[in-house]
A and B are shown apart, each in its own frame.
Chain A
């Protein structure tokens, strides 16, 4: 009973305070905002050694694309024909196709676009008799430009698929 009465008094006090004044009273403690720094190591670097043989075969094999496009040009097809021949002659090697985009547009869309370009090249190779198990397809989007620069000629060099 005593408790109840006490609570009731308190309630009255609150109502009294809130009715006679519109002033806000607050009290707060700032948060600590603890942050831990992590260092990632790259397991990507070692990977390039695996395909060392193929690197020699396709030293200059880069396929270029139009803005926001992933279709092959006739010049690209010429390069890919010689790639097919090289793969036919060295059937022990497997290759990685890395797709890239220029910096215009959003990063994730460009990642998907780079992938599409690499898939297009992969499809061409498979269609011409190369076993799909020999091909690894991946994309770096706009994250690893071949050339830095904000002009069309730089952009054109970055919209590519590298074969190695």
Chain B
């Protein structure tokens, strides 16, 4: 009983806000000051808080505490650039909020380069009713892009599975907030995947008694089984052009990879080996498929070049005796995967031009890594006291946790760019 009570208290703490535990960011972060925007105070505070968190979570920004600023300009004419130069601040963000009516909000913000002493960006973001969080995410991405030159991911989504009484397929903002349930089922749901345009999802549901792959439209809720037959089908992955779905089918009792043409439903067999072949995933340009195979006696990652006739699988990992669930970096310079080191399952990175594995995490049971569309952040599932949680690590080394949900959370997958 005592144990249960402690667990309850513990889980209540976990249900709080986003936990930023930046263990190590970039050595020389961009230093920015974000002045609370002019206008409605409550919207202004919400936006300020979200933008600050979004920037911090990238691991590349240091957001200056506003109380320590020498001046807090509300608009351009009030800026004293030297007040910010003294504090070694690189960029200043100002903005103003206008409510055209009770619900519709429009935000104009500016980015100033302190060293140059000039405005480098002015942007307007406007929303449909009650989308203040979304506005803040768009603003964060605008700031991030302007300063780093890389597309931001604050306005992207994460898809994942939760389990408490039922199994749920859930979609949320990249910061873990704004959860929306796509599917609720009494039977397990695994292996969620996004379509390349991020308008549909594929997943494995056991609702019919065996593993079957479904495709579901996010906005309409329309769903269908991809192949109607008696075989177990799992591990869906969309080709980058959206025309094909690679799957694992157990037609002859063993896990083999097939490519399904979504238009005419033609199936092409890709693997043929008595070892397990599963967890297929496409390279960014769609010319190669990587998969996990047990053909060497333990799971390792292999890749098949689709442009070559009858290409033989090429082994990609040789380090340790468990390397699985790989995915390509968006720039195609390497792969991330689950790697076992002694008894620990970690998320690891291997660049194609290096012959060693770089472990990115060090807990006991890390799994399901998924990389952000800009290639900078990996979200993955961890087990903390037996409870499933989501964590993130940036390639610059910053770590964070997403807010805990009710029940276990697992298999996070990052959407494509949405703005």
Q: A residues near B, CB below 8 A?
A: 22-45, 47, 68, 103-109, 111-113, 115-116, 119, 122, 137-141, 143-144, 148-150
Contact = CB atoms under 8 A, between A and B. Distances in A.
Contacts of B263: none
5 contacts: A22-B120, A28-B138, A44-B209, A109-B279, A138-B232
Contacts of B121: 23-26
A42 B188 contact: no
A41 B367 contact: no
Contacts of A34: 218-219
Contacts of A116: 254-255, 276
B138 A107 contact: no
Contact of B190 (A42, A138, A143): A143
Nearest to B155: A30
Interface stretch (B10-18, B51-59, B127-135): B127-135
Contacts of A150: 364-365, 383, 386
Contacts of B180: 35, 37
B221 A109 contact: no
A28 B276 contact: no
Given A36-B218, A106-B279, A108-B279, A30 B325 contact: no
B190 A108 contact: yes
Interface string B40-73: 0000000000000000000000000000000000
B373 to A, nearest CB: 15
A38 B216 contact: yes
A108 B235 contact: yes
Given A26-B123, A29-B128, A111-B235, 8 more contacts: A32-B131, A40-B207, A105-B340, A111-B232, A112-B254, A115-B232, A137-B253, A139-B232
Given A36-B218, A36-B220, A139-B211, A112 B124 contact: no
A27 B123 contact: yes
Contacts of B123: 24-28
B365 A104 contact: yes
Given A43-B208, A106-B368, A143-B190, A27 B124 contact: yes
Given A32-B128, A108-B279, A138 B292 contact: no
A109 B211 contact: no
A141 B210 CA distance: 11
B122 A42 contact: no
Most chain-A CB neighbours within 10 Å: which of B184, B211, B216?
B211
Contacts of A108: 190-191, 234-235, 248, 278-279, 292, 325
A115 B127 CA distance: 49
Contacts of B138: 28, 30
Given A42-B207, A115-B232, A143-B206, A35 B219 contact: yes
B185 A42 contact: yes
